[in-house]
Amino acid sequence: MAKSTDPRLSHQTLRIMRIFIERPQDSLAGSDIWKETGVFTGTLYPILLRLERAGWLESKWEQLDPSKAGRPRKRLYQLTGLGYNKARSALAELVVPNGSPSWKS
C-alpha cells in the first residue's frame, strides 16, 4: 500500500510495533500478534491497517490451500524499512535513562 502520514502512536500501537521490532524479518498473522500483546482483534486489525497505509507494514495472504490445511488462510504482516526506522525512533523516545537524578543545590 502507498505511504501516507504517520499513524497515531497509541499505547496499543506501540505494543504491536515492539513485536515487529523484536523480529523484523518475521511475517506475523494477526492471531500471533494478539497472543503476544493481548490487544483485542477489534483494536488490532484497524491498527494493522493504519500501519500498512502509512507504509510501516506490508501484508500478503498466506500461500496455502485452506481445504488441505483445515483452516482459512491468514493475512501475514511484515515490517518495512520505513516502519522499522519509525518504530525504533518512537520506542527509543519512551526509554527512561538509567542512573540517579542530578540535584542542584
**pLDDT by position in tens, the chain (length 105):** 445 588 889 999 999 999 999 999 999 999 999 999 999 999 999 999 999 999 999 999 999 998 999 999 999 999 999 999 999 998 888 765 555 555 555
Q: Which of 81, 40, 82, 55 is nearest to 16 (CA)?
A: 40
> pTM here?
0.81
Sequence spans of domains, the chain: 11-64+72-92
What's the order of all strands across the beta sheet hosting 28-29? 28-29, 75-79, 57-61
Report the DSSP beta bridge partners of residue 59. Answer: 77
Question: If one looks up domain 11-64+72-92 in CATH, what number appears?
Answer: 1.10.10.10
Residue 38, Ramachandran bin (φ over 0: left; ψ between -120 and 50: alpha; else beta): left
